[in-house]
A and B are shown apart, each in its own frame.
Chain A
Amino acid sequence: MLADFLLIAINGLVWAMAVFLVASGLTLIFGILHILNFSHGGFVMIGAYLAFTAMQLLTGSVGIAAFLGIAALCAVAVAGMGFVIDRVVFKRLKGVDDSYSLIATYAVLLLSEGAVKSVWGPNFESVYPPEGLGGALFLGDLFLPSYALFVIGAGLAVFLVLDWWLHRTASGKIMKSVALDPWMASILGINVNAIFTTAVVAGFALAGLAGGLLAPNQSLSPMMGGSYIIQAFGVIIVGGIGNVRGAFLAAILLGLIDAFGTVFVPQFPGIFFFIAVAVIILFRPQGLLSGIR
C-alpha cells in the first residue's frame, strides 16, 4: 500500500518536474516582458528534435555526460532562435494587450510546428534514455526507472539555479528591478532593452534545455509542443504568472493532484489537472504566489 502510494507520488513528481522545466522559461519571460509566449512549447519541441538528431549522429551508445552536453547544445541553439524571435516579434509587442501578444506568439507556435513537420516529418520518433539511465532502481518492491529520477533531479537543479540567480546575484536582482519598474531602472542607468533581450534569450535557452533533457520522456511528434504548452500554462497561471517559485510549487501540486486523481477515477485520466486549475484560479485568481519571485 505504502509502495503504491510512493509510486503514484513519484509519477506525479516526474510529470511535475517535466512541466516545470518547460514552464520555467515561460514564466521568466512573462515576468520580465509581460508576453505570454504561446510558442514556448514549440521551441521545447525543436530542442527535443535537435537532441534526437544529435543522438542519431552519435551512432553507438550515448553516455550521461554526452547526453547533458547535447542538452546544453540544444539550449544554445534554441537561445539563438530566441534572439531572432525577440528582434522580429517580441520587440514589436511592447505595450500591446496581453491577449494580443498571446495570439502573435500562437502564430510563432504554428510556424515552429510547420518547421518541425517539414524538417523531421509528421511521424512519431523516439529517443532512448542515455547509457546509465536506461535501467531501474529497486527499493524493496518499488520499481523506479532511473530516467524518471533523473527528470526529478533535473527539475530540482534548474529550479535551484534559477532561484539562486534571481535572488542572490546582482544580475538577477537587476532583472527583477526591470520587471517591477522599467522606467525607474532606465533612469538608474540600467540598459533596459539589453535586460529584455537577456530575459528572452535565457527563457528560450531554458526551452531548449528542457527539450534536450525531456527528449526521452515521451515520443516526439509535431503535436508535442502544443501539449506541453497547455500544461505549462496551467502551471504558471496557478503558480502566479511570472513567479518561478510559484510555478515550482504549482507544478508539484498539480502533478500530485492529477496522479492521485487518475488512480481514483481511472476512466478520466488527465481531467483532474484541468479541474484543479479551474478551481484554484476561481478562488485565487492571482495564483498561489504573486509578483515576480
Chain B
Amino acid sequence: MTTKPNIPQAGGNAGMVGPVLIAVALAVFATLPLWAEKGLVFLAGIVMAQIVFALAFNLIFGLTGLVSFGQAAFFAAGAYASAWLARMAPDLPFFLTLAFGGAVGAVLAWVIGLVALRRASGIYFAILTLALGQLVYTAIGKTTALGREDGLIGIARPVLDFGLFRINLAAGDNYYYLILVASVVLIFCLWWVWHGSLGRILSAIRQEPERVRFLGVNVRRYREYAFVISGTVTALAGALMAPWSQIITPMIAHWSYSALPILFCLLGGSARFWGPAVGAVVFAGLEHSTRTMVGMAELVVGGALLVVVLAMPGGILGALAALRQKYVTDRRGAAE
C-alpha cells in the first residue's frame, strides 16, 4: 500500500464528525433545563465550570508539558475573591466582581509561576505547585474574612443591569444560561490560544525545550504566559461557579481538587483540545452513578484512571481516533 496523505475520503466526511459532536453537546447542555430534573441541571452547571477548569489546565499540561498540582488554588482564588467582593460591595456590577476574581487568579498565577518556574522542572514542579497550592488552601481555611473552614455561604445570584433591561439571575434557570454563555466564551478564548501562534510555540516547548531556546525564544517566559493564562481562566471558572453552588468551602482549594483536571485530561485524552471536556463529562457520569455506594466512587474512578494510564495513553478520544483510523484503513484495504 502506498502512503497516502491522510485526507478524509469522499463519502466518509470524517472532518465533520468533530463539529457535529460539539454542536450536539452544546445543544444538550442548552436544552437541559427544559427536560431534566433540577439535580441534574445543578450538576450540569458544575460540570460546565469544571470543563473550563480542565481545558484551562490542559493548556499547561497537554500543550506546554508541565504537570501543575496546584490548579485548585486559582479556582478557589477566583471563587473566593469574587464572592468576597460581592459581599463587601453588593452594588457593584456582577461582571466587575467576576473580573476581580479573574484578576486575583492572574496575580496569584503570576506569583506562583514566578516561584515554581524559576528553577524547578518535571516532578519538582509538580511537588512545588502542590506545596504552594496547599499554602493557599491553609491560608483560606484560617482566614476569618473568608469564613475559615466553614467557607462562605449564601452567595447571592445577582441582577444583571443592562440599562435598557435587567436580568435577575436568581430567577429560574437564568444563572445556568449565564454559565453556559460564559463557558462558551472562555472555551473559545482557550481554543484560540491553543490553535494560534502562541499555542504552537507552547507545543514546541513541550516537545523540544532546548531547540526552542536555541531559536531565541525565552522558554521560561512563554511557560509563564501559559501559566498565567491558565490561572486566569481557571479563576474565572471558579468565580462563575460560586454563585451557582451558593456555598464555597476551602475544599475547592485542596490538592484533591487540583487532581480533578489532571484526571479529566487523562481520561479524555490530553493531546486533544476537547479531551478534558470528554473526561469531565465521563467523570461526572461515573461519580453520579456511584454516589450512593460508600467508597465505590473512588474504586471506579481510580480503576478507570489506572486502566487509561496503563492501557490507553491517549485517553478516550485517543482510543476512539485509533479505532476510526483502523476502520478507515481496513475499509481502504478491502477496497483495493
Binding site for B on A (CB under 8 A): 36, 89, 92, 97-100, 102-104, 106-111, 113-119, 121-122, 222, 226, 230, 233-234, 237, 241, 267-271, 274-275, 277-278, 281-282, 285
The 4 A-B pairs of least Cβ separation, nearest first, read A117-B295, A114-B298, A110-B302, A118-B295
B114 to chain A, nearest CB (A): 10
The residue among A89, A118, A241 with the most chain B CB atoms within 10 A of its own CB is A118
Partner of A104, one of B124, B128, B256, B306: B306
CA distance A97 to B270 in the complex (A): 15
CA distance A30 to B190 in the complex (A): 36
B128 to chain A, nearest CB (A): 5
Binding site for A on B (CB under 8 A): 67, 115, 118-120, 122-124, 126-128, 130-132, 134-135, 138-139, 142, 255-256, 259, 262, 266, 293-303, 305-306, 309-310
Selected A-B contacts with CB under 8 Å, 8 pairs:
A89-B310, A103-B262, A106-B259, A107-B303, A119-B295, A241-B124, A278-B131, A281-B124
Given A103-B266, A230-B134, check contact A285 B306 (CB 8 Å): no
Given A98-B122, A102-B67, A233-B130, check contact A275 B135 (CB 8 Å): yes
| B127 with A233: CB separation less than 8 A | yes
CA distance A41 to B296 in the complex (A): 19
| A111 with B119: CB separation less than 8 A | no
Q: Which residues of B contact A114 (CB under 8 A)?
A: 295-300, 302
| A267 with B142: CB separation less than 8 A | yes
Q: Which residues of A contact B119 (CB under 8 A)?
A: 281-282, 285
Given A102-B123, A106-B305, A107-B309, check contact A268 B142 (CB 8 Å): yes
Residue of B nearest to A277 (CB): B131
A182 to chain B, nearest CB (A): 19
CA distance A235 to B26 in the complex (A): 46
* B contacts with A: majority SS: helix
Q: Which residues of A contact B126 (CB under 8 A)?
A: 99, 102
| B299 with A234: CB separation less than 8 A | no
| B67 with A99: CB separation less than 8 A | yes
Q: Which residues of A contact B293 (CB under 8 A)?
A: 118
CA distance A234 to B124 in the complex (A): 10
| A110 with B305: CB separation less than 8 A | yes
- How many A-B pairs have beta carbons closer than 8 Å: the answer is 121
Known: A108-B306, A114-B298. 4 other contacts (CB 8 A): A99-B123, A110-B301, A115-B299, A271-B139
Q: Which residues of B contact A119 (CB under 8 A)?
A: 295
Q: Which residues of A contact B138 (CB under 8 A)?
A: 268, 270-271, 274
Partner of B298, one of A113, A271, A282, A285: A113
Residue of A nearest to B309 (CB): A104
B119 to chain A, nearest CB (A): 4
| B310 with A104: CB separation less than 8 A | yes
| A271 with B295: CB separation less than 8 A | no
Q: Which residues of B contact A285 (CB under 8 A)?
A: 119-120, 124
CA distance A270 to B142 in the complex (A): 10
| B132 with A110: CB separation less than 8 A | no
Q: Which residues of B contact A111 (CB under 8 A)?
A: 298-299, 302-303, 306
The residue among B120, B142, B295 with the most chain A CB atoms within 10 A of its own CB is B295
B117 to chain A, nearest CB (A): 11
B266 to chain A, nearest CB (A): 6
Q: Which residues of A contact B131 (CB under 8 A)?
A: 233-234, 274, 277-278, 281
